[in-house]
Amino acid sequence: MGIDQQTAYARSGGRPQDQVCFWREQRYDDLECLKARFYRHSYAPHTHDTFAVGVILSGAEAFRYRGTRHIAPAGSLVAVNPDELHDGEPEGDTYAYRMFYPSVALVQQIAADLGERHTGFTAFRDPVIDDPELAASFIQLHALLEYGAPRLAVDEAFTEAMTVMVARHSCTDAGGRRLGRESQAVGRVRRLLDDCYMQDLTLEDLAREAGFSRFHLLRRFRRELGITPHTYLTGRRVAAAKAQLAGPAPLSEIAINCGFYDQSHFTRALKGWTGLTPGQYRRGLPGPAGGFEPLSAERPLS
């Protein structure tokens, strides 16, 4: 049973609470969907193995991407490519947005269906996009998904919005994704992190695998992959934990299985990368959460 807005506001010490609604759509290659209003939450620097596409509904989001600080105001689209380090926080008091996380395979298939792309990896050109018509389409699509509209209506809205996004705002990169283009030595380190993410690895372990000094490895890894080994390792742990959250294992067990010190460490890491606690992520897996969580004094967004 929910709590009333006055009680929620009082419990937060008179400060508005961050609000989230998360779910996953299996029929669109496990598309993750997030609706959120953040007052205090700041994303840790992180990457996605998917694209991230969304619309700022109100306020403005500030984020660093490819070494530059960007401001996305209300009404703008944001687009982040896979493997690219970025963060995010309110620019001012708050911001609200609706986000999609389409898989690489899904976006590449849409590009292929357009029949106008050269061979290469399809990526979005700009992290902040001014396209009011497309923004409105994405808001409508997100709401249709959230409230369980008829499948045909959702399919048509999804196909149209994503196709327009790729047609208008993408380019092709003949080199492909950043991951996979690294040197052999850095690739060996990346595979070690992939295979042993649950272990308490040291920089010396990684340097030995590469055949480099610790300093040289750190510099090469960051230059070739855009992130540090520790950030990459945290991402692998978060990805593994998200997969295990689909099952019945207790959160404390998942934390240990995925290399986190304890459940508190797990919670901080997952929220820093996704904006969600483990419990919120788990509850969103079967379908839409049905609204913001927790309640606050703010009027819910449409």
Pair 21, 103 in one domain: yes
The answer to whether the beta carbons of residues 84 and 226 sit under 8 Å apart is yes
The answer to whether the beta carbons of residues 298 and 18 sit under 8 Å apart is no
H/E stretch holding 91 reads strand 86-101
Pair 151, 207 in one domain: no
Of 134, 168, 148, whose CA–CA distance to 27 is shortest? Answer: 148
Pair 188, 171 in one domain: no
Residue 213: which domain range?
A: 184-225+227-274
Pair 171, 219 in one domain: no
Neighbouring C-alpha atoms within 13 Å toward the C-beta of 212:
19
Locus of tokens 């399809």? 122
Pair 150, 197 in one domain: no
Tell me if residue 57 falls in helix, strand or coil: strand
The answer to whether the beta carbons of residues 212 and 220 sit under 8 Å apart is yes
Pair 130, 54 in one domain: yes
Verify cis geometry, omega within 30 degrees of 0, for the bond prior to 248.
no
Read off the pTM: 0.87
pLDDT tens, the chain, 302 aa long: 233 333 333 345 566 899 999 999 999 999 999 999 999 999 999 999 999 999 999 999 999 999 999 999 999 999 999 999 999 999 999 999 999 999 999 999 999 998 755 567 899 999 999 999 999 999 999 999 999 999 999 999 999 999 999 999 999 876 677 788 889 999 999 999 999 999 999 999 999 999 999 999 999 999 999 999 999 999 999 999 999 999 999 999 999 999 999 999 999 999 999 999 999 999 988 655 444 443 233 334 43
